[in-house]
Structures are given as structure tokens and as C-alpha cells.
Structure 1
Amino acid sequence: MSAPATAQQDQKDDLLLAAPKVDELAALLVAKDRPPRPSALSASLTFGWRAMLKIKHVPEQLFDVTAFPIMMVLMYAYLFGGALAGSVSEYVQFLLPGVLVMSIVMITMYTGVAINTDISKGVFDRFRTLPMWRPAPMVGYLLGDVIRYLIASVVILAVGLVIGYRPQGGVLGVLAGIALLLVFSFAFSWIWTMFGLLLRSEKSVMGVSMMVIFPLTFLSNVFVDPKTMPGWLQAFVNNSPVSHVASAVRELMAGNWPGADIGWSLGWAAFLLLVFGAATMRLYNRK
């Protein structure tokens, strides 16, 4: 046998001698405690951080929470301000809280699009094999999106202040209005998580989302007082969840306490969370 071959054989023998035996490996594994299973909160926050990292690597995703809200405020304020209220500064007092609600509600549909994209890439198949709380990926997505909603709220309020909006409720009224809107938006987003799991492509999710969101947002009290509408339309607008949230946010920022509208908004949020949250998890466990 040649010298190089002998050296290679010696190396193999040394590796075999140095390699741990099966019994030794078993003893090591048994002796060590298994890592604790992550709590529901920890797992959800981890997936929420994952959603934020995706924004970090693809900052273009912030377009819908920055440029889109600015466009909405300026377009509707300057288009309708003079005709409906006589001036932009007068109309923006009524308009801005409504546009804030409308913009955030419309942004929620991107949750379903993101989930559908991850499913098509096979990412969720890996998540399902992990020993963690089952709803964590869904809740994490929504927690990450709450940060996006908060960014959009700050942008809209900043633009509103520049063009003349003055909330009479001060800082506390503004914070209360935003908090209520974030709670409702979190619950409303579960509609799109269901569609993200149910439909086959992100284009389908986007199309269905627009069909639901447009009637809810435009047939509401976001732009005008429902008293000017026909009776049959008033019945729909006055009972729309978007109208209840818009009224509550508008009054809170004006320094009032609209108990009925706050109650309706929280009731709608609970209903959406129970119905569509349960439907989402049923689809997630079965698919």
C-alpha cells in the first residue's frame, strides 16, 4: 500500500475512534433537558418581528402607509373642501378622522396578500412543523401590521395638521381615537387572513378585498353626513362598522366621549375576531 493511501486509512481509523458511540450520544441526549416550548406571546412576537424584518429588507412595502395616505388626505380635502364646507380648513375638521379610518381599513387587505404569498412559497409548511402555538404565525403577521397602521396614522395626522386640522380633544383624544382604530383594524384584518388561506393567488385576494372594502368605506360617513342621503342608504350607512368607527374616532379627537359608537366599534371588533379568527384557524389547521 502506498504512503498516501496508508495516511488516509489512518485518518479514517482516527475519526472512527474519536466518533462518539451510539450509547454515548443517547446518554447525552437523555441527560439534557429539552428546551422549553415558547409561550404563545413569545411565538407571536417573534413572527411579528419577522414581519418587520421583511419591511426592512423591502422598504417599498411602506409605500401604502406613507405615500398613499398623503395622497388620500390631499386629494379629498382639496377636491371636496370648497364644495362641501366652503373651505379646506373647515372641511378637514370633519374629513381627516374619516380618511384616517378609511386609509387604515384599506391597508388591512395587504395582510391577506402577504399570507397568500408565503403559502405559495411553502413557508407555512415549515411553520406547521414547529412546536409552537398554532395561531402564532397569523397573530404575528397582524401584530407586525399594527406597526404599519400606526405609521400611517402618524403620517395622516401630520399632513392634516399642516393643512389646518386642529383636534379639540388634544393629545389624549388623538391617542384614544388611534387606539380604538388599531383595535378595530386588528380584528378586521382577520377577514383577509381567511381569504389569504382560502384563495389560490394573491391577485384573487386583492380582487375580493377590494370588492368588500370599497362599499364599506365609500358607503359610510367618512366624507359626508348621512343625513343628506336617501333613507334606504342611511339605513345601511348608519349601521356600517366603518361608520361607527369613523364617528367614534371623530368625536374622540374632537374632545367628546361617544359611548354608543365606541361600544358598537368594540362590538364589531369582537364579532369579526370571533367569526373570522375561528374560520382562519380552521382553514389553517385543515390545509
Structure 2
Amino acid sequence: MNPMRTARHSVTLAWRDIVKFRHTPDQLLDILLMPVTFVLTFVFLFGNAVSGDWHAYLRFVIPGIAIQALMFASLGSALALNTDLRDGVYDRFRSMPIARSAPLIGHILGDSVKYALSVVLVFAIGAALGFRFGGGVPAVAGAAGLMMAFALATCWIGVLIGVVARTAETVQALSMVLIFPLTFGSNVFVPTAKLPGWLQAWVRINPVTQVSDAVRSLTLGLPAAGSVPSSLAWSAGIVVVFAPLAVLAYRRRG
């Protein structure tokens, strides 16, 4: 299949997913309510305990919650894909003269709208509470690019789960096993130095930690050190590993 035709088919199917949001806006409830809940809960319940002042904690935690919101949004993507597969929608796609990977790529591109909305909402709530960007426009744009790159990369993991799982309950179980260690076992909510020594080793190599550090540094105008290239390397590595696996699993699923 010609790459240009694959791209065109993928964009067409991505538009299908976007139109679904317009007709069934309840699909957006998870990405709208989850960020609000996490921001308010962690800032006001744990802000004073972690940083001594919730205003200071707000600057630390908002970039991390944005990453966490993206991870949880990928759960919704996996569930939606699994539902379409079980309902026979993708059987119809297989019978059409389109690239075999186009439905999966289109699904990811369509869900990128949800990811963008989720990130915007987190930072909007943060701004209402007093969060202010310390970096310039290029740095903030770079942070947005890093977040979207990581979201689109991890979405391939969600696609793989959505394809191989036979029930929605299995999708949720597998996704939670992935999301909780990555998000809560990172420095999203607590600085690495304040964590137990045995946990710090895992936190330092956790990809969510790398992305959170990079976004935190860029949005606050702090030195990014090696977190930016590490974030890009993790995103690229996840795509290289899980995108082929997801496409292969999709082709083998009858």
C-alpha cells in the first residue's frame, strides 16, 4: 500500500472518531472529570504535606498530572477500540480496500484530540489556581510537543491491549496494571529525593518520570538537563516496540 494512501485512509478514519465525539459527547467525560479530580485532590489534600505550601506544590504537580491524565486517557482509547472490535466495526474495515494499519493509525490520530483537550484542561485548572508558566513560548511549545509525542507513543500500548483483550474488563485490568506503577511509581506527585531509597531506583528509570521532569523544566523555565532527550528516546522506543506488535495482533485477530 502506498504510504500516501495509507496516510489519507488514516486521516479519514481519524475524522470518524472525532465525529463520534461530537455525536456522543459523554465519551469525553472521563478526560474532563479525571484531570479536575486529580488536580483538586492532590493539590489541596497533599500540597501542604509534600511541599509545606499548596501554592509551591501546584507548580510541581501540574505538569505531572498532565502526564497522568494522558495515561488515563489512553485507557479510554483502549476500551473504545476493544468495543469496536467486538461489535464488528473493524471486520468491516478489513473488507475495505484500505491499508491494514489505517484503522489503528486513524484511531490514534482521532484520540489525539482527546489527549490535547485533557492537557489543556489540566493547565487551565492550574492557571485558575495560580500556576504560571516560567518558560518562554518556544519552551512551552516544546513541552506540549513532548507530551503529545509520549501520549501517541503510549497509545500504541493501549491499542495492543485493546486488540488482544477479549472483554472490556480485561482491558481495564491490563491497563490499570500498566498505568498505576508508571504514574504512581514516578515523581509525578512526590519529588524523587523524598521517596524511599529502594523506590528511587525505579522512579529514576521510569519513562513517566523522564517526561514529567522534561515538561516541568520547560514549563517552569528550569534547566532540563538530559530529561528532554530521554523523553524523546522513550517515546521512540515505545513506538518501535509496540506499534508493530499492535498491527501484528490486529492482523491475526479473526
Matched with 2:18 is 52
Matched with 2:139 is 173
What pairs with 1:58-207 in structure 2 (closer than 5 Å)? Answer: 58-207=24-173
CA offset digits 1:81-113 (Å, max 9, x no partner): 122222221110101101111111121122211
Question: Is residue 116–residue 201 contact of structure 1 (8 Å, CA) maintained in 2?
Answer: yes
May I ask how many residue pairs the two structures share in their alignment? 252
Shift of 1:37: 10
**198 and 224 in structure 1: CA distance in 2 versus 1, 3 angstrom threshold:** same
**Cα distance in 1 for residues equivalent to 2:212 and 2:74:** 16
In structure 2, which of residues 216, 233, 239 is the aligned counterpart of residue 273 of structure 1? 239
Q: Percent identity?
A: 37
Shift of 1:173: 2.5
**37 and 245 in structure 1: CA distance in 2 versus 1, 3 angstrom threshold:** closer
**Cα distance in 2 for residues equivalent to 1:215 and 1:189:** 17
Question: Is residue 207–residue 231 contact of structure 2 (8 Å, CA) maintained in 1?
Answer: yes
The unaligned stretches of length 5 or more in structure 2 are: none
**Cα distance in 2 for residues equivalent to 1:256 and 1:43:** 41
Query: Secondary structure of the equivalent of 1:258?
Result: coil
Question: Is residue 30–residue 76 contact of structure 2 (8 Å, CA) maintained in 1?
Answer: no
RMSD: 1.6
**Cα distance in 2 for residues equivalent to 1:69 and 1:37:** 36
Matched with 1:238 is 204
Larger radius of gyration: 1
Shift of 1:129: 1.4
**73 and 37 in structure 1: CA distance in 2 versus 1, 3 angstrom threshold:** closer
Residue type matched to 2:155 in 1? S
Question: Is residue 66–residue 119 contact of structure 2 (8 Å, CA) maintained in 1?
Answer: yes
Shift of 1:231: 2.0
CA offset digits 1:153-188 (Å, max 9, x no partner): 111111101111111014333222121011011010
**Cα distance in 1 for residues equivalent to 2:239 and 2:182:** 18
TM, length-normalised to structure 1: 0.84
Q: Are residue 40 (structure 1) and residue 2 (structure 2) matched?
A: no
Shift of 1:132: 1.5
Shift of 1:267: 1.1
Residue type matched to 2:132 in 1? R
Q: Return the structure number with greater relative CO, CA threshold 8 A, min gap 6.
A: 2
